[in-house]
């Protein structure tokens, strides 16, 4: 597995923990995330099967292709949805799958939401673009309102808790302010319009798999 924009490698860690034969690589620019991913892998006892590269995802090259290429919530690292799929295609082994996580507008966004996320498509258009690019969705999950709420409360609650647990830290006040600002942006700005789609994709054209036809 290869995860482009892996963050703390949560997807890879869960897969490694449940599939002992699996080897995985992750790529991310965040020093903190990469360090935490390696630490978590060691704690889980899967560290020998995970390599995490701290670098630009678009610059990552590998001698070997991957059976599964993931990129979840990181299409901005490549400049958008289609460039992300092009990069994933380059890394994909024959018969492989891509797992792509992408934001979309579930309803017409407010100007504030567009300011935060930039131009997104609606769900149908997002899938149309993927299909037109030569991919077949073979499985998908649209995050529910409950899942998206849980994600935001968890993320913002972690920030607030950290600030309250570290009152002497010079960053504490700023972290608490950030949690408050981000919570208002979410509740007032994009909670009603933001959606998140996770697709499992197979290439339908011979452009995948490093030049080898997947239809042969």
Ligand X SMILES: C[S@@+](CC[C@H](N)C(=O)[O-])C[C@H]1O[C@@H](n2cnc3c(N)ncnc32)[C@H](O)[C@@H]1O
Q: Which residue ranges make up the site for ligand X (CB under 6 A)?
A: 5-7, 10-11, 27-30, 33, 56-57, 72-74, 77
Contacts of 42 (CB under 8 A, 6+ apart): none
How far apart CA 128 and CA 122 sit, in angstroms, is 10
Task: Tell me whether residue 162 is exposed, middle or buried, using C-beta atoms within 10 angstroms of its C-beta: 0 to 12, 13 to 18, 19 or more.
Answer: middle
Q: What share of the chain is helix, strand, coil (3-state, %, to 5)?
A: 50, 25, 30
Q: Which is nearer to ligand X, 6 or 156 (CB)?
A: 6
Minimal distance, residue 59 CB to ligand X, in Å:
8
Least distance in angstroms from the C-beta of 213 to ligand X:
30
Closest to ligand X by CB, 55 vs 161, is 55
Rounded to a whole number of angstroms, the minimum distance from the CB of residue 168 to ligand X is 28
Q: How far is the CB of 28 from ligand X (least distance, A)?
A: 4
**For residue 146, what are its two tokens?**
């409950």
Q: Rounded to the nearest 5 degrees, what angle is found at the Cα of 103, between the Cα atoms of 100 and 106?
A: 130
| C-beta closer to ligand X: residue 26 or 109 | 26
Measured CA to CA, the distance from residue 20 to residue 6 in angstroms comes to 20
Cβ proximity to ligand X: between 77 and 81 the closer is: 77
Q: Smallest distance from the beta carbon of 47 to ligand X, in angstroms?
A: 19
The residue number whose beta carbon is nearest to ligand X equals 7
Choose between 154 and 213: whose C-beta lies nearer to ligand X.
Answer: 154
DSSP character for 56?
Answer: -
């Amino acid at each position: 597995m290869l995860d482009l924009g892996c963050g703390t490698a949560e997807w890879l860690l869960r897969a490694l923990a449940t599939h002992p034969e699996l080897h995985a690589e992750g790529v991310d620019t965040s020093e903190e995330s990469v360090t935490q991913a390696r630490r978590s892998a060691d704690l889980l006892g899967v560290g020998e099967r995970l390599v995490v590269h701290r670098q630009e995802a678009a610059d990552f090259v590998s001698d070997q292709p991957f059976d599964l290429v993931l990129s979840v919530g990181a299409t901005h690292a490549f400049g958008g949805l289609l460039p992300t799929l092009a990069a994933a295609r380059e890394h994909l082994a024959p018969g492989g799958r891509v797992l792509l996580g992408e934001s979309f507008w579930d309803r017409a966004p407010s100007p504030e939401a567009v300011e935060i996320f930039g131009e997104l498509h609606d769900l149908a258009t997002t899938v149309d673009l993927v299909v037109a690019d030569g991919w077949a969705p073979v499985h998908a999950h649209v995050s529910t309102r409950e899942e998206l709420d849980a994600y935001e409360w968890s993320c913002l609650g972690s920030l607030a808790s950290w600030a309250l647990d570290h009152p002497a830290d010079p960053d504490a006040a700023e972290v608490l302010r950030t949690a408050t600002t981000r919570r208002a942006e979410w509740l007032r700005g994009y909670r009603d319009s933001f959606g998140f789609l996770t697709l499992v994709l197979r290439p339908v054209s011979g452009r995948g798999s490093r030049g080898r036809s997947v239809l042969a």
